[in-house]
Chain A
Amino acid sequence: MAPENPSHPSENDLPYVLILKPPPSFVIFGDRFFNSTKFRFLKAYESPLPLAHFLLAHAQSVQAILSSGGAPVTADTIRLMPLLRLVVTTSQGLNHIDLSECRRRGIVVASAGTIYSADCADSVVALLIDVLRKVSAADRFVKQGLWSSQGEYPLGSKLGGKRVGIVGLGSIGSEVAKRLEAFGCSISYNSRKKKPFCSYPFYLNVRELAANCDALIICCALTDETHHLINKEVLSALGKDGVIVNIARGPIMDEKELVRCLVEGEIRGAGLDVFEHEPDVPNELFALDNVVMSPHNAVFTWESFEDLRKLVVGNLEAFFSNEPLLTPVGLDDQPHFSG
């Protein structure tokens, strides 16, 4: 029998990467989407065992997890995997990973980096223009044959000259700012800390930012501090001519209050990619023409998924080759989300 070539290990020698639930890319492209010759996947979701039992039985020597927004990495999971050293996530957000526990255990987290920033920023601009210029509502109007019977369509509102307030001036927020400046908008922002070398006016207080802008864009992470950050006071400060766009996380917004403001005409409109209890969306919004909604898919383009594929495989291959990760997250800097 010929000896095995050490540089081409058989499939059975490849290290495992644990997947708790299929990520969106598996649902769309199948489970070979992140295939590599350097690792193989251990799919907890294919086992009838409850997760804790599965981990005890099969994951004791597993060093890496591939996580996605719908497959949280909790402290419980981490504690059942004594050799876990790496969590790679396909999502932009990190709120589904217990970062405190990772920090405590010295587990490294690899994020999506900035691969999604352009698509997220594009989503913001798309939703904002749609709300102000009534694109989706007008498209419905025309396709229902109402243009010839009802004639004139109500006027929209000009984007140029609007004051845009960005909550969270990270990679996505910066890409939003760059785009909207080209439309003649002025930019100001709120962030945990003022950014050095940034000439946009900074507001320490989100309510004040809202009081001084016409369009409030939510681009920040979901953490304990930002839960229900956009509340009654902020929406009231934004006012009846103000528009809000949220492509970040549903729980950053007090959704009940937002719905009430929209139904009662206390703000001009909203563009929403995220909701507090996805995929449930408050039914009151369905009758409103000044609301534009999308099913949490700001990053769902062919191009971003291809970029993700390269990044995830790149991070995992680097890890198993003892090379530097492509997109490691600095955990000391990350605020916590208790969930």
Chain B
Amino acid sequence: MNNTCVLVTCPMFTYLEQELETRFNLFKLWDHSSSKAEFFNNYSSSIKAVVGNTKVGADAKLIDSLPNLEIVASYSVGLDKIDLDKCKQRGIKVTNTPDVLTDDVADLAIGLALAVLRKVCVCDQFVRSGNWINGDFGLATKFSGKSVGIVGLGRIGSAIAKRAEAFQCPISYHSRSKKPNTNYKYYLNIVDLAANCEILVVACALTEETHHIVNRKVIDALGPKGFLINIARGAHVDEPELVSALLEGRLGGAGLDVFENEPEPPEQLFALDNVVLVPHVGSDTGETSKAMADLVISNLEAHFKGKPLLTPVI
């Protein structure tokens, strides 16, 4: 097993890299960035597994350059950075890390909504700057009881709904199809969902269909008293439209964990008090990072031992 060559695409989590190193012959793509051609010349036919994440996955170019690639194990639940069609064509297996990160991402979605509506970050800054001595802060918006609209009622969307329900928030959702076994109100059209909720949460997978699913029409429907929370993918939202809506006061506020061009979120948002920005940390807790890493390792071990994969995608 120690001879099996595994390529990790970018720095993701020290513990993961260490665990990979004890079990495999690990290659770190970023160690060879100045001599990429040479690296691929020497090692490309030995590499049997790729470990990617939301920053650097396994695109067609990478897959094509690895003729003996057997498995892509993603350190993420999102698959938008993996060319799944190419993997299917080549018979390459793909695994991801569902379930172990559901709670953390859902917690952050609610945390962002609370932070935006209740102005938590602004209040903290107000106290920190010593301004409280000069007078009181003012009023924020109550979170409990607000209607929450969820785009994508999968594992994460359902977990968000369950939490929001504990705050007496009525739940509605938009999905490709209506889900059986749920009492939440379904909207076939995302614009209708946005028009009928106060907090819109994006929680679906990024595909060609959902690219820019939150566009000008949706933002307008959400309106100046509405809030957008995005813990999915930056590309779900037409970011320039979102920025102008926020700058012009046409949207009430936003809590964003993801952006179209990470790590460079739109600077025009930096001065806005009704916007909370965090650096793609949805699953970034010690507990969950370790659980995700363990799952990646288990999937790889299972594959190379000829056992069933734990969390296969294809």
Which residues of A are interface residues toward B (Cβ below 8 A)?
24, 27-28, 118-119, 121-123, 125-127, 129-130, 132-136, 138-143, 145, 147-148, 151-153, 155-161, 178-179, 181-184, 278-281, 285-286, 292-295, 297, 300-305
CB within 8 Å for A133 and B162 given contacts A153-B284, A293-B124, A297-B136 = no
Question: Which of A127, A159, A181 is the most central at the interface, judged by chain B CB atoms within 10 Å of its CB?
Answer: A159
Structural contact, B124 and A294, CB atoms closer than 8 A: yes
Q: Is B126 an interface residue (CB 8 A)?
A: yes
* Nearest opposing residue in chain A for B278, CB measure: A138
Closest 9 CB pairs of A and B: A182-B166, A129-B111, A126-B114, A118-B144, A303-B142, A279-B132, A160-B103, A294-B123, A301-B142
Structural contact, B136 and A27, CB atoms closer than 8 A: yes
How many residues on chain B are close to A (CB under 8 Å)? 56
Residue from the list A27, A135, A293, A295 in contact with B278, Cβ < 8 A: A135
Give the contacts of B25-59 with A (CB-CB under 8 A): none
* Chain B residues with CB below 8 A from A183, complex form: 103, 107, 110, 163, 166
Q: Is B281 an interface residue (CB 8 A)?
A: yes
Rounded to whole Å, the gap between the CB of A166 and the closest CB of chain B is 15
* Chain A residues with CB below 8 A from B276, complex form: 135, 139
Q: Is B168 an interface residue (CB 8 A)?
A: yes
* Chain B residues with CB below 8 A from A278, complex form: 132
Structural contact, B104 and A158, CB atoms closer than 8 A: yes
Instruction: Show 29 residue pairs from A and B whose CB-CB distance is below 8 angstroms, ordered by the A residue.
Output: A118-B168, A127-B120, A129-B111, A130-B111, A130-B115, A133-B104, A133-B108, A134-B281, A135-B115, A136-B120, A136-B121, A138-B281, A147-B262, A148-B264, A156-B281, A156-B284, A157-B287, A182-B163, A182-B166, A183-B107, A183-B163, A280-B133, A294-B127, A297-B123, A300-B138, A300-B139, A301-B140, A302-B141, A305-B139
* Nearest opposing residue in chain B for A179, CB measure: B166
* Chain A residues with CB below 8 A from B2, complex form: none
Structural contact, A184 and B103, CB atoms closer than 8 A: yes
Structural contact, A155 and B289, CB atoms closer than 8 A: yes
Structural contact, A119 and B142, CB atoms closer than 8 A: yes
Rounded to whole Å, the gap between the CB of A78 and the closest CB of chain B is 28
Docked Cα-Cα span, A286 to B126, in Å, equals: 11
Rounded to whole Å, the gap between the CB of B264 and the closest CB of chain A is 5
Compute the total of residue contacts between A and B using a CB distance below 8 Å.
Answer: 184
Rounded to whole Å, the gap between the CB of A159 and the closest CB of chain B is 5
Residue from the list A136, A280, A305 in contact with B115, Cβ < 8 A: A136
Against A, the Cβ 8 Å flags (1 = close, 0 = not) of B156-176 are: 000000110111100000000
CB within 8 Å for A300 and B111 given contacts A158-B104, A295-B132 = no
Which residues of B are interface residues toward A (Cβ below 8 A)?
11, 103-104, 107-108, 110-112, 114-115, 118, 120-121, 123-128, 130, 132-133, 136-145, 162-163, 165-168, 262-265, 267, 270-271, 276-279, 281, 284-289
Docked Cα-Cα span, A24 to B277, in Å, equals: 31
Question: Which of A127, A139, A181, A281 is the most central at the interface, judged by chain B CB atoms within 10 Å of its CB?
Answer: A139
* Chain B residues with CB below 8 A from A130, complex form: 111, 115, 120-121, 124
* Nearest opposing residue in chain B for A306, CB measure: B142
Residue from the list B141, B166, B284 in contact with A301, Cβ < 8 A: B141
* Chain B residues with CB below 8 A from A28, complex form: 136, 138-139
Docked Cα-Cα span, A202 to B96, in Å, equals: 41
Rounded to whole Å, the gap between the CB of A149 and the closest CB of chain B is 9
Residue from the list A125, A281, A305 in contact with B127, Cβ < 8 A: A281
* Chain B residues with CB below 8 A from A155, complex form: 284-286, 289
Structural contact, B279 and A147, CB atoms closer than 8 A: yes
* Chain B residues with CB below 8 A from A178, complex form: 166
Residue from the list B133, B144, B168 in contact with A119, Cβ < 8 A: B144
Residue from the list A148, A295, A304 in contact with B142, Cβ < 8 A: A304
* Chain B residues with CB below 8 A from A24, complex form: 136
* Chain B residues with CB below 8 A from A138, complex form: 277-279, 281
* Chain B residues with CB below 8 A from A294, complex form: 120, 123-124, 127, 137
Docked Cα-Cα span, A313 to B167, in Å, equals: 27
* Chain B residues with CB below 8 A from A304, complex form: 142
Docked Cα-Cα span, A280 to B143, in Å, equals: 28
* Chain B residues with CB below 8 A from A280, complex form: 133
Structural contact, A286 and B142, CB atoms closer than 8 A: no
Docked Cα-Cα span, A148 to B263, in Å, equals: 5
Structural contact, A125 and B284, CB atoms closer than 8 A: no
Structural contact, B121 and A182, CB atoms closer than 8 A: no
Rounded to whole Å, the gap between the CB of B282 and the closest CB of chain A is 9
CB within 8 Å for A145 and B142 given contacts A129-B107, A292-B124 = no
Docked Cα-Cα span, A139 to B123, in Å, equals: 13
Structural contact, B167 and A118, CB atoms closer than 8 A: yes
* Nearest opposing residue in chain B for A130, CB measure: B120
Structural contact, A160 and B279, CB atoms closer than 8 A: no
* Nearest opposing residue in chain B for A287, CB measure: B128
